[in-house]
Structure 1
Amino acid sequence: MSRDPWSRPTLEDLRAILESIGKSPVQHGREAERLELSVPAEIQTSRGNTIASMTREISRTGIGLVHRGSVSPGQVKVRMASETREFEYDVQIEWCQPCENGMFISGGRFLGQRTTNKV
């Protein structure tokens, strides 16, 4: 049975990608500390397409994502949910590049939080 090319990456997919990338020994001079975070997310493009994704990392200023299919740089909405809340953010995708198994990793800068709803 073939896998849906637009399905959300699994935690196993995410782990394999993170292991293949490894930690960079280079100090990137980031303005905010990044924390590893693996939760389901959705990217809504400016054209209204919704792409299932997983978060890789998050900071006060931005977010890293993994997903199937390329996302063009530009403004998107990113939705995430915990057991008690849903979050929606405006994000400026700064870059997107291919990685293992036909998936892509991307990074974006938060432009603002749109909503927080209790589940």
Structure 2
Amino acid sequence: MAVDPWARPSVQDLHRVLESLDQSESENNRAVERLELNVPAEVKTLRGNTVSAMTREVSREGIGLIHRGAIQPGPVRVKMASETREFDYNVQIEWCSPCENGMFLSGGKFVRPGLPGVDQAE
């Protein structure tokens, strides 16, 4: 059965990609601690496209995502949901890089509403 090129990656896809990156804790030069968080998310771009994604990690300042198809750097809205609550964040995507199986890793910073370009991603 063919895989939908825009379908949300599974948790197994995420773990496979992260294992292939062979990240070492000694190479983590990040200023802010990040927590692994693997939940479904939707990214709404400035052009109005909705991209299904999975979160990879989250910190006080930003979020990492995995998805099929590239997302251009710039302001987006990221929606996530738990069983009891929905979360909606303004994010400035700063980078997007291809990885295996037609998937992409991206990362961005949380931004406050009212900043130029952010509210247009609704």
Normalising by the residue count of structure 1, what TM-score does the alignment of the two structures yield?
Answer: 0.90
Identity %: 62
Which residue pairs with 2:119 in the alignment? none
Question: Does 20-29 or 59-68 show the bigger shift?
Answer: 20-29
2:12 equivalent to 1:16: no
Stretches of 4+ aligned residues off by more than 4 angstroms: none
2:118 equivalent to 1:95: no
* Unaligned stretches of 5+ residues in structure 1: 114-119
Which residue pairs with 2:118 in the alignment? none
1:40-66 deviation line (CA, Å, top 9, x unaligned)? 000000011000000000000000000
Q: Which amino acid aligns with 1:70?
A: A
Q: What CA distance in whole angstroms lies between the structure 1 residues aligned with 2:103 and 2:28?
A: 26
Which residue pairs with 1:28 in the alignment? 29
* Unaligned stretches of 5+ residues in structure 2: 114-122
Q: What secondary structure sits across from 1:112 in the alignment? A: coil
Between Structure 1 and Structure 2, the one with more helix by share is: 2
Equivalenced residues, count: 113
2:44 equivalent to 1:44: yes
Between Structure 1 and Structure 2, the one with more strand by share is: 1
Q: Which amino acid aligns with 2:66?
A: V
**CA RMSD for the aligned pairs?**
1.5
Normalising by the residue count of structure 2, what TM-score does the alignment of the two structures yield?
Answer: 0.88
Q: What secondary structure sits across from 1:16 in the alignment? A: helix
Which residue pairs with 1:117 in the alignment? none
